Chains A and B, each alone.
Chain A
Amino acid sequence: MAVVVWIVEGTWPACVDAARAHTPADTEIVLLHVTPAEVPGAAHGAFAGLLGRGHPERDPGTRLENLAAASAEQLLRSAADRLGRPSTAVERNGRVEREVVAATAGADLLVLARDGDRTHLGPRSLGPAARFVVDHAPCPVLLVWPEPSPGLATMPPPR
């Protein structure tokens, strides 16, 4: 059984904890982080917008790519430490939601956190990326609250 845990800045600890709590100790666990291509891309583009400023070695996008790789590695290491079990770290680049779906090919479970408005139960507790992944994932999905969930009283009244 292979479980993919999607690690995202800000919400990952709940996913790691859920993976530990809900899977047998000998489960093969994959910690997945995706660096969005558009972040270094925006810096590349802004530099290109400075028409004629030459010096490709000054391109901040390249520095961002290196920084992003370093920070992803750090994040995945923290996640592995918190998990406290053998695991595999996988780092991908590109469109986040599509990369996550692609990484779940052949997996038995995907663990991810809500990434939308979490002040009350629904209706927008999923952001665009998580919504896409839940919608398209080819495997079962374990969707967790990054922090203790809001009480039932916060549920919007029926219309």
Chain B
Amino acid sequence: MSIFVWKDPALNTPLAEALSVVLLALVLACAVIRPFGWSEAVVAVPAAALVIVTGAVSLDDALAEAEQLGPVVGFLAAVLVLAQLCDDDGLFRACGAWMARTSAGRPRRLLTQVFLAASAITAALSLDATVVLLTPVVFATAARLGVRPKPHVYACTHLSNTASLLLPVSNLTNLLAFTVSGLTFTRFAALMALPWVAAIAVEYVVFRRFFATDLDAGTQAPPATETPELPLFALLTVGGTLAGFALSSVVGVDPAWAAFAGALVLAVRALLRRRTTPRALLRSASVPFLAFVLSLGIVVRAVVDNGLDTALGHVIPAGTSLPVLLGLAALAALLANLINNLPAVLVLLPLTAPSGPGAVLAVLLGVNIGPNLTYAGSLATLLWRRIVHAHEAEVELKEFTRLGLYAVPASLGAAVLALWGSLTVIGGG
């Protein structure tokens, strides 16, 4: 590959590859375990510096990677802030009240409402919002109604992955793929709309059957009567931001600006009303996490360039026919389960980008839906469970994995089929 020509010959390739792989493992392990309560950036940033200093990745390549990831990271920060400010404004509380009211005390209706809410919130405000902000609200709603909470909480964890297919902002993996795919925001959404609906529909059917017993139990609590004020301003700002995303592709501006504008509007209002502080805003932007993503990108680049590209190049099918798309999605899902979907997508993107947007989107289906297979994400999570939660009672793994075994192959298959249909009708552009 041509990039080899540009590399500083300070380290020979096998040695550079070994060093990069060790550093990547270290970065990932420390992000999961957080030794001494360290921030995820504490190990990642020096690791990135080390691959540059040793020449495992050239300074030019590292800069190119940073240049590509920088806007992605900024975009992500804006969305994280936007979601946090929506929560401060009571959007998620209002969502809980809406679910309680409209479910009329019927567990099956509540599951439908949870699916609708989690799908919309994941798509518009990213999976972080669903996991961190919506899940507790859903649990509280179920508890208040006297409904068994398990199906509804599991729905949140599954949909935070499955429903994160629709927009580039829905998942960090999407943002990474979006920048290399060359698609516009609207085209991305148009191509992913059908796979998004298909995957969620399959999950819904699986949940209704899998949790039939829990959903059969009635409720005793009287339907909640409290109706918190709808945070109209926050809702309109999110709507305006989404419209801004669509408009950005027409005008040809980076959609990140729409996210910045949305976050800025809510931030200024919250600051004026003294509902937040600059410190809290900075915290919700998760600066160490952003540094972590940048550093992880550079370390992965070193791993890919020093040999993984040629090794995986033989395994990765080219083209966008249905069998190829299925193969790519399956490979991506496998990798996402082996490590975590973030490094998986960083590894696979440069290798599939030459095949065009269809291949990139198939990888996304795999890395986004795949994590539902192993307990909440990956073997990295298992490591976390062993070390961080070793003192706690062993969590029931069997049921979660069984649910994943039903849901993941079916929803992934349906999504790939839908993507193939979308590509045929709309075209990869």
Q: Residues of A with Cβ closer than 8 Å to B? A: 8-13, 36-39, 41-56, 58, 60, 63-64, 67-68, 70-71, 74-75, 78, 93-95, 115-118, 127-128, 146-147
Q: Name the residue on A nearest B144 (C-beta).
A: A71
Give every chain A residue within 8 A of B392 (Cβ-Cβ): 37
Using a CB–CB distance below 8 Å, which chain B residues touch chain A? 28, 31-32, 34, 37, 39-40, 44, 107, 127-128, 131-133, 135-136, 139-140, 143-144, 146-150, 153-154, 156-157, 160, 212-214, 216-220, 283, 286, 288-289, 292-293, 296, 340, 342, 371, 375-378, 380-381, 384-385, 388-389, 392-393, 395-396, 399-400
For A93, the chain B residues whose CB sits under 8 A away are: 393
B128 close to A50 (CB less than 8 A)? yes
A11:B31 contact, CB within 8 angstroms: no
Across the interface, which residues of B come within 8 angstroms of A13, CB to CB? 220
- B381–A49 touching, CB < 8 Å: yes
Known: A60-B131, A95-B396. 7 other contacts (CB 8 A): A41-B395, A43-B131, A45-B376, A45-B381, A49-B340, A64-B153, A70-B143
**A147 contacts B218, CB within 8 Å?**
yes
Please indicate the chain A residues that have their CB under 8 angstroms from the CB of B128 in the complex.
50, 53
Contacting residue for A36 out of B135, B143, B396, CB 8 A: B396
> Measured between C-beta atoms, what is the minimum distance from A77 to chain B in Å?
12
Residues of A contacting B218 in the complex (Cβ-Cβ under 8 angstroms): 10-11, 146-147
CB distance from A15 to the nearest CB of B (A): 12
- Assembly CA distance A13 to B220 (angstroms): 8
Given A48-B377, A51-B380, residue A94 in contact with residue B135 (CB < 8 A) = no
B83 to chain A, nearest CB (A): 12
Kindly report which residue of chain A lies nearest to residue B37, judged by CB atoms: A56
Taken together as a complex, chains A and B put the C-alpha atoms of A52 and B87 apart, in Å, by: 21
What is the chain B residue whose CB lies nearest that of A38? B396
Q: Which residues of B contact A36 (CB under 8 A)?
A: 150, 396
Give the chain B neighbours of A116 by CB distance below 8 A.
213, 216
A46 and B136 contacting across the interface, CB-CB below 8 Å: no
A38: B residues at CB distance < 8 A:
150, 395-396, 399-400
**Are B212's CB and A117's CB within 8 A?**
yes
The answer to whether residues A52 and B213 also contact, given A38-B399, A67-B136 and a CB cut-off of 8 A, is no
Contact for B160 among A44, A46, A95, CB less than 8 A: A46
Q: Which residues of A contact B140 (CB under 8 A)?
A: 67, 71
Q: Nearest residue in B to A64 (C-beta to C-beta)?
A: B139
For B146, the closest partner residue in chain A by CB is A9
